[in-house]
Amino acid sequence: MRYISTRGGIAPISFKDAVMMGLATDGGLLLPEVLPQISAQTLESWRRLKYQDLAYEVISLFSGDIPTADLRRLLANSYATFSHPDITPVAKHGDVYILELFHGPTLAFKDVALQFLGNLFEYFLQADNSGMNIIGATSGDTGSAAIYGVRGKERIKIFILHPHKRVSPIQELQMTTVLDDNVFNLAIKGSFDDGQAIVKEIFNNLAFKEKHHLGAVNSINWARILAQIVYYIYSYFRVCDREGEGPVDFAVPTGNFGDIFAGFLAKQLLTAKRIRRLVLATNENDILSRFVNQGNYATGNVSQTCSPSMDIQLASNFERYLYYLNNSDGERTRREMESFARSGTLKFEAAVRERVKDDFAAQRVTEAEIAATIKSFYRQNNYVLDPHTAVGVTAGIAHKGDIPMICLATAHPGKFGDVVGRAIGPQALPQALASLAGMETRCEVVAAESAVIMDIIARHDKP
Ligand SMILES: *Cc1c(COP(=O)(O)O)cnc(C)c1O
């Protein structure tokens, strides 16, 4: 399988180059040249596979020339860190199914992709006998998943910037208790936005970027999307085990459109409307639900909510869907994205809006609704939802038709104990989080200046 850019400006490249490149050199995002379709017969042969074996079948459709034994080993290692034998178990609670994606090391769904991406980077770097320095900024929640993805890997160093004293104590501990030599926690004396601006500035310094082999693990990396396709198919099978063959709907708490785009691809792969519709759930940062419901993709101001990993008003993976809406016309996608960059808005005509509604339903969920759902779901089903999951469950219940609704649970509620506690009273912390208190930590408090960060990277980037 080879990869093209959504803006049509690059010659097709290999899977390896697509993973290592992240963003395409023409500014677009990378996508497979063609989307395979899975025959009913093949699908049947996948039905009984355990998670890692299903992951092998799905990923090998896209991963080109990685030898079978190598890919199987990468996947076995990636999911050995998960605490549940099913990796992503699914169970019925009340009227809906909950697909638990939080059994990885940092208790959030990003582990499913980042555990794999870290191993994939290491594998490709070994083949080239080279190394890389990953830099990223976090508002608290995703930094730890990135750190756990690469901790202990010899060829990779990771520098994660977080705003000093502005992340929750648990978030801080999840990052700073990782003591591996290749992990550098940098608490900047500034805001999350300052951190993001610094990372952007450093990446724009092309000489520095090349000299130090800088890389990113952000949500536009194709391997992350790819790894996320697997649990849609896995949970489809598990629900069919119980309900018999038939279409299902999914409800997905959405920020950068990465997770739900993986669902969109799963829907194309499975064919025959096995996945009927994806319910796109946003919090009050609702650019994507406005897009689906009103046909208008327009940025707004970001407001802070109790589901912070979805506080986004610019969905970095949206361009991938736009490319398919444009019938794989890269030139047109480039024009539209450039126009969007100037005006901050993209409007869609009626025929396109109909197609969007065939793929998605969408709902904006308010802060009050999130709290109410956590409360009612607990009362009715004795099951605790984290605030992100509650966004999806609110929309999932509202759009529940006569077929199964599978709601993606993207974080363990223990990660957001404050919000959950306000809704239903204090809950016991899971062992993985409780054990962090009192552990040794390592973190450097630094000025929020790109020169300072670049100096730190340069100092540590010695062979
Ligand atoms: C990142 C994240 C999301 C949003 O996923 P996208 O792929 O950005 O749409 C939802 N919930 C949690 C807990 C997350 O960390």
pLDDT digits (tens, 9 = 90+) for 203-230: 889 899 999 999 988 889 999 999 999 9
Residue 140 one-letter amino acid: G
Grouping H, G, I as helix, E, B as strand and the rest as coil, residue 218 is: coil
Residue 151 maps to a domain: no
Name the residue with higher pLDDT: 462 or 378.
378
Query: What is the tens place of the pLDDT at every residue in 243-291?
Result: 999 899 999 999 999 999 999 999 999 988 999 999 999 999 999 999 9
Asked if the structure places residue 205 within a domain, the reply is: no
pLDDT at 463 over 70: no
Evaluate whether residue 49 is within a structural domain: no
Chain segment 394-443, per-residue pLDDT in tens: 999 999 999 999 999 999 999 999 999 999 999 999 999 999 999 999 99
- For residue 386, tell me if it sits in a domain: yes
Q: How many domains does the chain have?
A: 1
Q: Is the CB of 29 under 6 A from ligand 1?
A: no
pLDDT for 173: 96
Q: Has residue 268 been placed in a domain?
A: yes
Would you state the pLDDT for residue 168? 87
Q: Does 393 fall in a domain? A: yes
- Predicted TM-score (pTM) of this structure: 0.96
Q: Is the CB of 258 under 6 A from ligand 1?
A: yes
pLDDT at res. 140: 80
DSSP assignment, residue 133?
E
CATH number of the domain enclosing 242: 3.40.50.1100
**4 bridge partner residues:** 31
Report yes or no on 331 lying in a domain. yes
Is the pLDDT at 372 greater than 80, yes or no?
yes
* Nearest atom of ligand 1 to the alpha carbon of 254: 9
Three-class SS state of 32:
strand
Judge if the beta carbon of residue 305 lies within 6 A of ligand 1. no
The CA 258 to ligand 1 mean position distance, Å, reads: 8
Strands 360-364 and 405-409 come out as unpaired
Joined tokens for residue 16 = 């390896």
Q: How far is CA 246 from each of CA 238, 272, 403, rounded to the nearest angstrom?
A: 12, 10, 8
Looking at residue 218, its pLDDT comes to 82
CB distance 394 to ligand 1 below 6 Å: no
Q: How far from chain centre, in Å, is Cα 80?
A: 19
Residue 328 lies in a domain: yes
Does the annotation count 165 as an active-site position? no
72-81: average pLDDT = 98
How many residues would you count in the chain? Answer: 463
Average pLDDT over residues 18-36: 92
Full domain range(s) for residue 257 = 90-105+223-424
Instruction: Please check the confidence at residue 185 and state whether its pLDDT lies above 80.
Output: yes
DSSP 8-state secondary structure symbol assigned to residue 25: T
State the catalytic residue, choosing from 16, 110, 153, 415.
Answer: 110
Residue with tokens 């009103």: 294
